[in-house]
Structure 1
Amino acid sequence: MKKGKIHIKFVLFLGICLSALNSYSQDLKTYIDEAIANSPEIQKVQFQYGIAAEKVNEANWLPNTEVSAGYFVSEPETRVGAQRARFSLKQMIPWFGTITARENYMNSMAAAQYEELVIAKRKLVLSVSQSYYNLMANKAKQEVLEKNVQLLETYERLALTSLEVGKASAVSVLRLQIRQNELEQSKEVLQQQFLAEQAVFNNLLNRESDMTVVVVSEPKMPLGTEMISEENLKVHPELTKYDKLYESVSKSELLNKKESSPMIGFGLDYIPVSERTDMNPIDNGKDILMPMVTLSIPIFNNKYKSQTKQNQLKQQEITSQKEERLNALQTMLSKAIYDRNSARISYDTQSKNLKQAKDAEEILIKNYETGTIDFNDVLDIQELQLKFQINQIESVKTYYVQSTIINYLTN
């Protein structure tokens, strides 16, 4: 897949991840853009890809040019004079197509590394989104607890009024106050958990861990559920990475075959000759210029045969790794779909229970108006309402978290 198409696919994946939040997706998108721009992990993988891409230029090389010079200590005499020295120049050239095969191999390695960059960005989007949803659920729980504390304060005032006229006991008032203290404690614990998760979120964005993060405090369950195309899982970057690696091994084998071919060398020898003084033959003192052709033949080629066998084993290993990863991703997808469906079922159940609990609360209030109220029942109903509200928030969070996993795997 070309880099441009991969980039478009990543943008679509990001858009689908954000679409789940509808009106408040813009804030999360801003955070995700900041995370991608600042992430040391992304920068590291980008540098690795840059190095892999630069190796394509490195592949276009020839063996070193050999230059040698020698001086005859004892000058050999020839018919036209004595040889004084020897100067040699030689250049070996790989077999036809070797350099192209080397460039193709480096290109395939760069393509595999680019898949790692796409995967790293997807995983960062996944991590940022899930951390955001954790913060969102935490903030919503804090607000629910605050509303319940205020509700208990109202009940406390009713209990005190009833106590004055002898329609309630001091124990009921104390129980209401104890319950308020418990809710205040739970809220403070949530605040500490929010700060801890906020530090995690800020670290993902590579900024100061105590920076304030603004999140949605009233998450809502989406009305519908988008269609899931499990076929897209088969072209997930975590799997196409293995296709790229398999292809790189094929390119490596083509290069291996080229490198097992002979190498051709061209050279030139130059020998300066001194003139003879005792006689004057034809070409007296004429220097010697000798062009040469060299052929380097890999007769002992066990190295290349072994490399071929290694490449075959590597391809089998990559195929097994891909199958193993496909099974793991399919398992992850099935679990995410199940958990998301369970979250919606749980949300619907909690909504029904919450409505019934509120109906019970209204009945208790009407009883108070007629002069009778059991504050033990009030506490029980309030505790049930809080439980249902917290479970609702948890169901919404689970739905969004599992949606990010499904989008990561299928888009």
Structure 2
Amino acid sequence: MKKIAIIFLLFLGVQSTSFSQSLDEYLKVAAENNPELKAYFNEYLASLEKVPQVGALPDPELTMGFFFQPMERFMGNQQADIQLMQMFPWFGMLKTQKDEASKMALAQYEVFQDAKYRLFYQVKNTWYQLYRLEEEIRITEENLEILKQYERLALIRFQSADIGTGSGPSNMQQATSMNSGSSTSSASSMGGMSGGMTSGTSGKSSSKGGSSMGTSSSMNGGGSGMSDVLRVRIQIKELENTLALLEDSRLPIKAEFNQLLNRDINEVVSIADSLSGSVVSWERQALLDSITQNNPMLKMLDAEEEAYEAQKKMARLEGRPMLGAGVNYMPFSPRTENGMPMGGNDMVMPMLRLTIPIYRKKYNALQKEAELKQLAVQQRRENTVNQLTTRWSTALRDLDDATRRTKLYREQTDLAGQTLNLLMTSYATDGRDFEEVLRVQQQLLDYQLKLITSIVDQHVTIAMLENLAATELN
């Protein structure tokens, strides 16, 4: 009996592997290698190149005309007519155009920032899901080993019961064959039990004394031991199937993680040894204020609003005249009149040009367009604040729920472990309540898995809040 108790109380612990690469390093790799993020950054760089374009003066215009035959004029024969003109926008127009382009570039930068924080959230979420999967595999393997220990214990009890009641060597062979785990050997053992029952009946017909009671005890002990073995084998098969499914799920999650980092899908991913429960140290209202101030989408809309304000100013300035300054150069060659050379001096004439914007409808429409776009951005910003507030409150609710579940499942795991120890001791002593042992063991496995899920949910929710606030919260 002491041997049985020692075997039953043995547990196999699987230690997590220690990894050197941290999540922060993966985030850095993702920021450097993710192709979508690099595309957003290049779009931002492209928008910056717009600033020097709109801040430059219009190209000067050069007009050149040549005569096939010199035109006779009083000053001589004109050979050509060359004009050079530079137009100048109204005062402040170039500065306003540069300001508008800069604001649009800033809006594009905030789009890049939003893409970066969304990528960080995806990397964190996938990494946490991979951690949860590895922990589920580890816990499942531990529980599978424990169930195999239960199976060995049930077999030992079955063999001990047969020997103690003198059921004969046939049941000993059945117990040995059951240890192989095949369905054929289980059926053979069941047949052996029937043989034992027949033998007990023969003994009863020859002797009506204590042998009848001994046979009845043999039947009950053998049947109980047999059912214990079969029950635990049913759970072993179910757990083996669950473990196979978990291991099959490793590849797609790892592939998703590596693709976010733009690496080969088979690249090794380092996972933390353990994750503890996490909380947000910020006050809730302060967190909401940070979201409404720092969220990249709100900053993008603010930059767009400022850009449309600059566009309104540009529309007003476009309704002002444009000034042009230039020079007209006319080369002359001397002409002969009555044998005397006449003229031949080149002429240089300064020129001014002025546009007259008299068609006002298009300028008024430009200004109205900018005003309506600015109003649309303001309304979109208000709607975005409402959506962010909803996501903030939902995330806090999920975080509170995950925190409560973490506390609950820790307590439930401890209680289930204590209950299981008591049941194990009872079964090792008198062989009772094996079905209850298996039920509590299944409960313990369920609580362990739910505890891992709740801890991961905490970290994923905090990652979501960090994505909304565009900052680290711990």
TM-score with structure 1 length normalisation? 0.88
Matched, 1:181 2:240: no
Identity of aligned residues (%): 31
Deviation at 1:282, TM superposition (A): 10
Deviation at 1:100, TM superposition (A): 1.6
Distance 2:73 2:280 in 1: 96
Matching residue's letter, 2:385: L
Secondary structure of 1:86's partner? strand
Corresponding residue for residue 267 of structure 2 = 211
Greater alpha carbon shift after TM alignment, 261-270 vs 391-400: 261-270
Matching residue's letter, 1:404: A
Matched, 1:233 2:291: yes
> Aligned pair in 2 of structure 1 residues 171, 370: CA closer, same or farther (>3 Å)?
closer
Deviation at 1:165, TM superposition (A): 3.0
Distance 2:236 2:403 in 1: 31
Superposed, 1:247-286 pairs within 5 Å as 247-279=306-338, 284-286=343-345
Matched, 1:329 2:388: yes
Superposed, 1:237-386 pairs within 5 Å as 237-279=296-338, 284-386=343-445
Secondary structure of 1:370's partner? helix
Corresponding residue for residue 13 of structure 1 = none
Cα-to-partner distance string for 1:115-158 (whole Å, 9 max, x where unaligned): 12221221111111111110111111111101101111111111
> Do the aligned partners of 1:101 and 1:258 also contact (CA within 8 Å) in 2?
no
Deviation at 1:302, TM superposition (A): 2.4
Following TM superposition, where does structure 1 have runs of at least 4 consecutive aligned residues deviating by more than 4 angstroms? 23-26, 72-77, 279-283
Matching residue's letter, 2:240: E
Deviation at 1:164, TM superposition (A): 1.5
Matching residue's letter, 1:197: I
1:169 to 225, 237, 241: 225
Distance 2:429 2:411 in 1: 28
> Do the aligned partners of 1:137 and 1:219 also contact (CA within 8 Å) in 2?
no
> Do the aligned partners of 1:268 and 1:291 also contact (CA within 8 Å) in 2?
yes
Deviation at 1:300, TM superposition (A): 1.5
Secondary structure of 1:303's partner? helix
Matching residue's letter, 1:175: R
> Do the aligned partners of 1:137 and 1:217 also contact (CA within 8 Å) in 2?
no
Matching residue's letter, 1:405: M
Corresponding residue for residue 14 of structure 1 = none
Distance 2:329 2:439 in 1: 106
> Do the aligned partners of 2:20 and 2:270 also contact (CA within 8 Å) in 1?
no
Unaligned runs of 5+ in 2: 1-17, 162-220
Q: Rg larger in 1 or in 2?
A: 2
> Aligned pair in 2 of structure 1 residues 74, 382: CA closer, same or farther (>3 Å)?
same
Matching residue's letter, 1:125: F
Distance 2:432 2:69 in 1: 126
Secondary structure of 2:87's partner? strand
Q: Number of paired residues?
A: 388
Matched, 1:36 2:31: yes
Corresponding residue for residue 251 of structure 2 = 195
Secondary structure of 1:165's partner? helix
Superposed, 1:113-128 pairs within 5 Å as 113-128=108-123
Corresponding residue for residue 457 of structure 2 = 398
Matching residue's letter, 2:252: A
Secondary structure of 2:49's partner? helix
Greater alpha carbon shift after TM alignment, 170-179 vs 206-215: 170-179
Secondary structure of 1:83's partner? strand
> Do the aligned partners of 2:75 and 2:342 also contact (CA within 8 Å) in 1?
yes
1:88 to 83, 88, 96: 83
Secondary structure of 1:218's partner? coil
Cα-to-partner distance string for 1:245-304 (whole Å, 9 max, x where unaligned): 100111122222222221111222222334342248997333332221111122223222
Matching residue's letter, 2:290: N
Corresponding residue for residue 152 of structure 1 = 147
Deviation at 1:189, TM superposition (A): 0.8
Distance 2:339 2:317 in 1: 53
Superposed, 1:69-108 pairs within 5 Å as 69-72=64-67, 77-108=72-103
Cα-to-partner distance string for 1:199-235 (whole Å, 9 max, x where unaligned): 110011110011111212533223x542232111111
Distance 2:74 2:160 in 1: 141
> Aligned pair in 2 of structure 1 residues 374, 139: CA closer, same or farther (>3 Å)?
same
> Do the aligned partners of 2:315 and 2:367 also contact (CA within 8 Å) in 1?
yes
Distance 1:119 1:207 in 2: 22
* CA root-mean-square deviation: 2.2
Unaligned runs of 5+ in 1: 1-22
Distance 1:352 1:25 in 2: 31
> Aligned pair in 2 of structure 1 residues 386, 213: CA closer, same or farther (>3 Å)?
same
Cα-to-partner distance string for 1:353-392 (whole Å, 9 max, x where unaligned): 2222222212212212432322211211111111111111
Matching residue's letter, 1:58: Q
Cα-to-partner distance string for 1:302-332 (whole Å, 9 max, x where unaligned): 2221111110110111011111111111111
